[in-house]
Amino acid sequence: MNVGERLKKARKRKKLTQEEVADLLYCTPQAISRYETNKIEPNMQTLQRMCIIYEVSADDIIDIPHFRRGKL
């Protein structure tokens, strides 16, 4: 699962629409759609805010298994 798919899954788990998330982030629903379809990646500030809204950690979205296992 990629970043966009994880963002979409987290948004749906919170039962939010792209429009509602866009309002909370002061951006457009099109931007949320682009994040979820991996056309663009959210910057760190936006990703942090999305994690707060979705009540997930950045690790849940980014999912870098090597960091978790200490194998870098």
Whichever domain contains 17, its CATH number is 1.10.260.40
Angle between helices 18-25 and 29-36 (to 10 degrees): 110
Number of domains in the chain: 1
Contacts of 63 (CB under 8 A, 6+ apart): 1, 6
- Whether 62 maps to a domain, the answer reads no
- Whether 23 maps to a domain, the answer reads yes
Asked if 11 contacts 36 with a C-beta cutoff of 8 angstroms, the reply is yes
**Which pLDDT value is given to residue 32?**
98
**Tens of pLDDT, residues 15-71:** 999 999 999 999 999 999 999 999 999 999 999 999 999 999 998 999 766 555 555
Local confidence band at 1 (pLDDT 50, 70, 90 cut-offs): confident
- Whether 45 maps to a domain, the answer reads yes
What is the pTM (predicted TM-score) of this model? 0.85
Helix (H) or strand (E) holding 51: helix 44-54
Which domain, by its residues, includes 48? Answer: 3-56
